[in-house]
Amino acid sequence: MSKHKVVYNSCYGGFSLSEEAQEWFEQHGHPSWAEYSPDIPRHHPLLVQCVEELRDEASGKYARLRIAEIKGNKYWIEEYDGHEWVHTPENTDWVIIEDEEDV
């Protein structure tokens, strides 16, 4: 099973990049972060690379960006007041409906 990296915000406040990280992104051939950010997936290789290289310096004013390594290719990010969690099929407790005959 393949592994992937996903960037998420691990504190309350909201996902954002620092000015240094925005400049890093632009230096690596992408347009202004403000224009590009709504369309970039959290698993985008350049976003992951930026956070890996800049570490805490990549985080915006009210963010603490971290990287989750996941197995497989499915995830979703849950958010509450800007604090995020990465969910995958492996770390999700699914409710399974049994057939009426089994109940």
Beta bridge partners of 67: 7
Cβ atoms of 87 and 58 closer than 8 Å: no
Q: Which two tokens stand for residue 95?
A: 């409710």
Q: Which two tokens stand for residue 87?
A: 């969910």
Q: What is the structure's pLDDT at 8?
A: 97
Q: What is the structure's pLDDT at 96?
A: 80
What range defines the domain where residue 49 resides?
3-102
Q: What is the structure's pLDDT at 93?
A: 85
How many structural domains comprise the chain?
1
b/e map 4-39, b = 16+ CB within 10 Å:
bbbbbbeeeeebbbbeebbebbeeeebeebeeeeee
Mean pLDDT, 10 residues at a time, the chain of 103 residues: 94 93 87 71 93 97 96 94 93 82 56
Q: What is the structure's pLDDT at 71?
A: 93
79: amino acid identity, one letter: E
Pairing of strands 76-80, 65-71: unpaired
Q: Which two tokens stand for residue 47?
A: 């976003």
Q: What is the structure's pLDDT at 30?
A: 76
